[in-house]
Every structure is written in C-alpha cells, then in structure tokens.
Amino acid sequence: MTLSDLARRIHAVSHLTGQFTLRSGRTASEYFDKYRFEGDPVLLDEIARAMAPLVPSDTEVLAGLEMGGIPVVTALGRHTGLPCAFVRKQAKPYGTCRLAEGAEVAGRRVLVIEDVVTSGGQIVLSTADLRALGADIGTALCVIDREQGGRAALEAEGIDLISLLTATDLREAASTTRD
C-alpha cells in the first residue's frame, strides 16, 4: 500500500465535518476522529507498518501518550520490536503509582508517540514529565500533524516532530482518484 493509498483510507475512515472543540480549546470545522482508524486493526497495522521506518535508529523505548497514543505505540512496537511505555496524563494514586507503565524510561532514548497533533500541548506536558523521570527525549512521532502550530510549539521545547501524514496530505489524497 502506498502512502497516498493509506492517506485516502485514513481520510475516508476518520474525516468528519461539523463544529468541533479541540483539546487546545480551538474550534474546527474539520476533525480527524483518530479512534476510527485506531479501532480498525487492519488499518492500524498498515499505519504502524508505514511509521516503522520513521523511528530514529537510536530509539530505545517507544512511549505512547494516553489515550490515543496507546494503540498506535502498541502496533508500532510489533513492527519495530522496541519496548513500549504507556504514559498517563498523571500518575494514578494507587498500585504502582507510576506515570509511565511498561518499559523503563529512565536513562533511555525515548520516542514519544501520539496519534494526532494540533497544538502539541499534550506532548509538551508529557515530555516534561518523562524528562523529569530521566528519559532522554528529542523527537516525537505522530500519525497526523494537523498543521496548526504543534510543530513550532514542540521545537520551542527541543522536540522534533516527525509525522506520517499531515492534514494537507490527507486532503490532497482524498481529492485525487487512483489511475
């Protein structure tokens, strides 16, 4: 499957129009419902397969952010063989009381995994928390960059953003037909 074919499939499954309030507080008339592609195991596997070559070679741990990054990191881990950490928005007050479950992040080169990036706010917050735990983080990888300031916000925090696709890629793929 080509990246353009994958973009068309993601767009067909997850693109919604209407009035939506985003995590950042912004409103949008276009929305990519990530749970629609994350809930499709065949499509999610194709996404992970396409993302695997984008993982920097020095990565030791993949860290998926709650909640949408969790299915993506799990699928990506299957394709890379890298251990996964599952990062909460805040540590639970019982059991292990950990912020990051699964693979240990302290002293390791960690790649943050997210599904859709708009403002980059959750990646900034979670990266600060992971760095406080001793993780070495310089890069985040997402399925879709909505191209609404997230990349710049992450760069300001010393985080490079790699995206499988952008909102523009999805729109362009949806507007073309296969020859």
Are 33 and 14 spatial neighbours (Cβ–Cβ below 8 Å)?
yes
The pTM (predicted TM-score) of the whole model is 0.93
Cα separation, 138 vs 25, whole angstroms:
26
Mean pLDDT of the chain: 94
Residues 6+ away with beta carbon under 8 Å from 136: 107, 108, 109, 110
What does residue 71 show for φ and ψ, rounded to 5 degrees? -65, -35
Mean pLDDT, residues 78-91 = 96
| Contact by Cβ (8 Å): 34, 115 | yes
Sign of CA dihedral 13, 146, 27, 177: negative
160-166 and 136-145 beta bridge pairing: parallel
**Rounded Cα–Cα distance for residues 150 and 117 (Å):** 6
Please determine, for residue 177, whether its predicted confidence score (pLDDT) is greater than 70: no
pLDDT surpasses 70 at 179: no
What is the rounded distance in angstroms from the CA atom of residue 162 to the CA atom of residue 57? Answer: 13
pLDDT at residue number 32: 87
* Residues above pLDDT 70, as percent of the chain: 98
Mean pLDDT of 53-63: 98
55-91 burial: b if 16+ Cβ within 10 Å, else e = beeebbbbbbbeebbbbbbbbbbebbebebbbbbeee
The pLDDT tens digits for 153-176 are 999 999 999 999 999 999 999 998
Q: Tens digit of pLDDT for each residue in 86-129?
A: 999 998 888 888 999 999 999 999 999 999 998 999 999 999 99
